[in-house]
Structure formats: C-alpha cells, structure tokens
Amino acid sequence: MTKRPLVLLDVDGVLNPARRHTLRLRRYECVLDGQVYSVLLNARHGAELAALARDTGAELAWATTWEHHANEHIAPRLGLPALPVVAVNGDPGSRAGEHFKTRHVAEYVAGRPFVWFDDSLGAHDWQYLKDHPAVGEFLLVEVDPRTGLTDGHLARARDWLGGAGAPGAGLRPLPP
C-alpha cells in the first residue's frame, strides 16, 4: 500500500508574506488569545494548494505556530477546509541547529513522503530529517518571507510529488 504524501504548510512568511498590501494580497485582522494580528493573504493560494493536493494525491496539513488557529483564521479565507495540524508549539530550542518545528514534523510524517513549505528551513533541517528514522522521502521548499509562496514553489512541489504516489518512485530528499 502506498503512503499518501503530505504537503506541510507554514503560515507566516509563506501564506502571509512580510510585505505591504498588494493587489493580490488582502489584509485581515485575526484575534488569537486576545492579541490582534494582521495577515496578508492571497485568495488564489487556496485553490492552487487544493489543486496541488488533488492532482498529486497529497494531503495538506498545517505545520505552523498558528496550529489549530490556522483552521479558524487562515483556511476559510483561502477557501480551504479544516486541515490536520502538526503540533509544533511547546518545545523551544534545537538539538542540532534545526528549527524547533523540524522535530515535530519528523515525528508527524511517520515515513510518509512530504513537501514542506516554510521560510525558516536550512541545511540543519535537511540533515536532521535525512538522519531521522521516522522520515522517508521529502522535499524542503524554503520560501522567501518577503514574497511568500509563488508559482515556482508550487511547480517545484508538483514536479517532486509527481512520483510520490507511485510505488517504487524512488524519490530522493533534496537539500534546500
């Protein structure tokens, strides 16, 4: 049985770029635990991510410090359903220079192939995932937080996932 691949999504820096409002980005105010946050979202991203998942047989999931708040504040504004959540909060720090979310992702994927869109990934994350016994094939897509998710990022993921659903596809982890 083939394991369905995952597409892991960060919010800040990926779906919510760190720049001013543009014609493609709409500003929203979100209240989380009494704190008001302003986010910029591109409504097209929802349809593009849904198409990526549908066309490649992948499952979308949140890998963000927003955790379940992403289903309340981000998903509906992008036209996405509630997604599974990788619990990443509560364990600050690094063991080998990796981002604090990386250990949680390694446990969550449980051998499933995955693509991870994040703006804070690097060589330490790639090495940690490559060496982790619960991690199979993966692709890290580092997103520039100033621009956020682009068509190029989605195309790279689509190309890589093209073989993820087929038995014996021979996917190889690629460094960022």
> Which among 54, 72, 94 is positioned nearest to 106, based on CA atoms?
94
Please, which pLDDT band fits residue 19 given cuts at 50, 70 and 90? confident
Residue 49 three-state SS: helix
**DSSP E strands, 83-163:** 114-118, 138-142
Residue 172 pLDDT greater than 50, yes or no: no
Instruction: Name which CATH class applies to 6-161.
Output: alpha beta
Please, which pLDDT band fits residue 168 given cuts at 50, 70 and 90? very low
Considering only residues 164 and 106, tell me which one the structure prediction assigns the higher pLDDT. Answer: 106
> Which among 70, 71, 129 is positioned nearest to 99, based on CA atoms?
129
Distance CA 154, CA 141 (A): 9
**pLDDT of amino acid 22:** 74
Q: What type of residue sits at position 166?
A: A
Please, which pLDDT band fits residue 95 given cuts at 50, 70 and 90? confident
Parse the chain into domains and list their residue ranges: 6-161
**pLDDT of amino acid 166:** 37
Strand-pair category, 35-41 with 26-32: antiparallel
